Each structure stands twice: as C-alpha cells, then as structure tokens.
Structure 1
Amino acid sequence: MDRLHAFKTIAAQARCGELAFPASVEASIRLQRALADPDCHVDLATRLIQADPLLAARTVAIANSVAYNRSGTPISGVRPAVQRLGVRTLQTLVAAVIVRQLGSTLEDPVLRAKTAQLWEHTAHVASLAQVIARRVTNVDPDTALFAGVVHEVGAFYMLSRAADFPGVMEGEPEDWIEHGEAIISAGVFRELMVPEPVVTAVAAMWHGLRALPPETLGDTLLLADDLAPIPSPMHVRPGATTAQAARTIDFAVGDGTLQAILDESRDEVESLYSVLML
C-alpha cells in the first residue's frame, strides 16, 4: 500500500469513528470522559486521579508549578492539588497522558524519534500558550494550555498507526498534511471530546494568519508555535516564522513588550514544560 492510499484509508476510518487506540489509551479516554461529566466533583476527580500513580504525580507537580502556585505554598496530596487546579486543568493533564501514550508502543527508532520531537514541540507550545493567553491575549489560559497539548493529536495518532502501514511516514509530510491531517485530527478530537472553540482555534492555527498583536485563541497558538524552540517534525505551516525570525518577534503589550513578558515569565514556561515532560 502506497503512502497516499494509507493516509486515505486511515482518514476514512477516522471519518467513520473507527479509531484504533492502544489499550492504555482507551483507559485514559474513559477517565477523560468521566472528568468531562458536569457531575464530576472534587471527590470523584480525586479518586480517579489517585487510581493512576503517574497521573497523580503529575497533578501534584503541576499544582506546585510556578504557573499554578502563586502563593508559593507547596502541596503534597492529590486532593488539595485537584482543588487548586480544577477539573479543566485535570482534563489537560489526561489529554497529555493520552497524547504521549499514542507513541508509547512504537518500536521503530525513527518513529520513536519523531514522536519524541513532536512531544517536545507540543510541550513548548502548550507552556508558551498558557502564558501568552494570560499575559498578552487575555483568553482563558487553561483553555490555551489544553489547546496547545492537543493541537497535533492527529499527528500522534498517525504515528501510532504507522507500524500497520510500513513506510507511510517516510519522505516529506506534504501528503500527510493534504490527505490525512484534517480528517484524522477531527476524528480524534471527537473521541477526546475536545470543545468546539478549541477545534476552531486549531483549524485557525493551521490555516490562518497570526495577527500582531494577537487577540484570539488561534492567534495565541500561532504565536506559541512560532516561538517554540523545537519544531514539529509533522507539520510546517504555510508562512510559518523561521526559528531565527521568531527570536525577533516583539510588539507592545500595554506599557511593556512581548519580550519583556517572556523574560518575566521564563520560570513559569519552564515549570510547565518540565511537568509536561515528566
């Protein structure tokens, strides 16, 4: 089966909701659905998080990060961490687990390297998006963090299926972008119950032009993507800023500048990035 046929086959499956996830991902998706239930309260969320030791550790770690621990008061238990973060941030952490699990069963070293680079890129985008949302665009920072985590989830899914279609990820990514990305991403978004505003923002990220100064969630993602020091191995946006040019991006924000905000927020970005990389 050639690459184009493989992309179209997986895209057709995604369009019909026939997605194939590893068993570990299925369990995390069930957790995500439970957290998305409006009736999910702190006690239930705490029990769900405690059932997964790795997720419990990440929950406490992000609650103690500079971005979420403004008072400097450390937390050592899952319940107070859940109370500090709220269910929406927990959904972001679960989404991060799901995304990383998609590549956890890969044996091919080339695919594993692509997955590792894609996650590094994702963690940078998500961390930068949270700070840009809070300090620059004034969109909801938790939504921006979540959007950054899931913005390339379709690519992670494609990599997870690559072992079933030998050679599919060889060569340039243009065929993937043209014939698979949008449909496969939409299918995974539906499975993960990604809110429509996030889906719309990711679509704007891939196809829109970033406004300066940025205003929307899509603009937030575009700027974070441009500023991320690790590029995506799966997608190059038309008109994307080069890594060298990204270092020169600056504009006025209130009485300050973007560069001043990034300098002031470096510890927050690095703290979030470190938690996501756990």
Structure 2
Amino acid sequence: MDRLEAFKAIAAQAGRGELTFPTNIDASIKLQRALNDENCHIDLAAKLVQADPLLAARTVAIANSVAYNRSGMEISSVKTAVQRLGVRTLQSLVTSVIVRQLGTKIRNPLLKAKANQLWEHTAHVAALAQVIARRVSHVDPDTAMFAGIVHEVGGFYMLSQAESYPEVMEGDPEEWTAHGEVQIGRGVLQKLMIPENVFKAVEAMWEGMRALPPENLGDTLLLANDLSPIASPLHARPGATSVAAASTIDFAVGDGTLASIMEESAEEVKSLTAALLHN
C-alpha cells in the first residue's frame, strides 16, 4: 500500500463514520453531547466538568486567563469557572480535550513529537482567532476559538492512525494537503458534530482563500493560522505565509493597525494559549 492508498483507506473509513478513537474519547463525546443539549444548565455543566479532572483543570485555567478574567480576580472553583465561561466556551474546551486525546494513542516518538507540535500550533491558532475575532473581524470570539481548536483535527486523526498505516508519513507534506486533509478532515468533523458555520470556515481554510482585513470566520481562522508562531508540522497551507513572513502582515483597523492590536493583545494571547496547553 502506498501513501495515497493509505489516505484513501482512512478517508473511506472516516466517510462511513468508522473512526477508531481511543476509548477515553467516548466519555468526552458523551459530555459534548450533553453540553449541546439546550436544557443543559450551568449547575449540570459544572457537575459534568468536575467528573473529568483534565477538563476541570483546563476550565479553571481558561477562566483565569487574561481573555476571560478582566477583573483580575483569580478563582479555584469549577462551578465559578463554568459560570464565568458559560456553556458555549465549555463546548470548545471539551472539544480541545477530544482533539488532544487523539494523540494519546501514539507511541512512536517521531509521531508523538509531531502530534505535540500540532497541538501547540492548534492552541496558538485558537487563542489568536479569539482575539482577532473580538478586536478585528468582529465575528463571535467563542466560535472563532472553537474553529481554531478543530481546524487540524483531521491531522490529529491521521497521526493517530499512522502506526497502522505508516505510509501516510512518507512523501511530501503537500500530498497530505492535496489528498488526505479534506477527505479525512470532513469525516472527523462530521463525527464530532461540528456546527455547519465552523465546518465551512475550516473548508475555507483548506482552500486557502481569505480577505484582508478578515471579514468572516474563515478569514479569521486563516489569518490566525498565518500569525501562529508555531507552524503545523504536517504541511504548508495553500496561500499561507511562512512564520517569518507572517510578522509583516499589517493593515488598518479603525484608528489602529493589526500590528498595534496584536501587540496590545500579546499578554491575552499568551495567557489563553498557555491555558489551552495546560495538562
């Protein structure tokens, strides 16, 4: 089996919904479904979060980040953290746990290193997307963070399958972008019940088309990807700039510029990224 055949095999499984997830993901997916229920109130959400130590720690960390703790009042209670964040942000955090858990199955050191770098990249993109949405494109910041968390989920799944299909790590990175990312990514996004607007934003990222200044969620996601100081280890995205060149991206935003906004928001991005990376 060559690399393209391996991509096709994994993509076919994803298309049929026959995805192989680590067993610890099942509980997180059930939690995600519970939080998606419109009748899920804050008290119930807090109880569900407290049952998962990793999610509980990450929830408190995010609630204490600069992005969500404008008052500077640090908290240590999961329930208070849930009240501060709200159910929608919790949905993003549960998804971040699911994405991160895809790497727990990996034993090969090279693959694990790639998964760790991909998660660092993901955390930076999610944090940057949240700030860009709020300060620049004026799309919903929580949705933008969620889109950042899931934008590479197909890559995580591919890495989790690489020990069964070692061919996927052979060849040029462009082959993943051209033949694996879209087909596998769509299957995983569907399995995780990703909302249509986020799904379309990730598809726009796959196409590499965007407007500057960013006008919509897809533009916001692609700009965040470009500005991430940690590149994806899987590919150079079509239309994306290098990490070095991304520092030159600038444009007017109201009375300021993108560069001035990102400088003002640097501590916010750093704090939110660290909270997402919190284990």
User: Same fold, TM exceeding 0.5?
Assistant: yes
Provide Cα deviations, 1:45-101, integer angstroms capped at 9, x if missing partner. Answer: 111100011111110111111000111122110111111101111111111111111
Aligned pairs (5 A) from 1:117-156: 117-156=117-156
Cα deviation per residue 1:224-249 (whole Å; 9 max; x = unaligned)? 11111111112322221122211111
Query: Could you tell me which residue of structure 2 aligns to residue 46 of structure 1?
Result: 46
User: Where does residue 34 of structure 1 map in the other structure?
Assistant: 34
Q: Which moved more, 1:90-99 or 1:180-189?
A: 180-189
Match status 1:210 vs 2:210:
yes
Q: CA deviation at 1:43?
A: 1.3
The amino acid across from 1:217 in the alignment is L
Structure 1: 5+ residue runs without aligned partners? Answer: none
Give 1:23's aligned residue.
23
Q: Which segment is superposed worse, 2-11 or 230-239?
A: 230-239
1:218 shift after superposition: 0.6
Equivalent-residue separation in structure 1 for 2:177 and 2:209 (angstroms): 18
Partner of 2:70: 70
How far residue 105 of structure 1 moved from its aligned partner, in angstroms, is 1.9
Q: Give the 3 Å change call, closer, same or farther, for CA 142–7 of structure 1 in structure 2.
A: same
CA distance in 2, matches of 1:192, 1:182: 15
Per the alignment, residue 167 of structure 1 pairs with 167
Q: Aligned partners of 1:217 and 1:168: how far apart in 2?
A: 30
Which residue of the partner structure matches residue 219 of structure 1? 219
Q: CA deviation at 1:193?
A: 1.2
Amino acid at match of 2:244: Q
For residues 171 and 119 of structure 2, the distance between their equivalents in structure 1, rounded to whole angstroms, comes to: 20
**Number of residue-to-residue matches in the alignment:** 278
Q: Which runs of 4+ in 1 moved over 6 A?
A: none
Q: Which runs of 5+ in 2 are unaligned?
A: none
Change (3 A) 1:36 1:7: same
Supply the distance in 2 between the matched residues of 1:213 and 1:165 (Cα, whole angstroms).
40
Q: Tell me the equivalent position of 2:199.
A: 199
- Following TM superposition, by how much is the alpha carbon of 1:196 offset from its aligned partner in structure 2, in angstroms? 0.3
State the Cα distance separating 1:178 from its structure 2 match.
2.3
1:7 aligns with 2:3: no
Aligned partners of 1:26 and 1:176: how far apart in 2?
Answer: 27
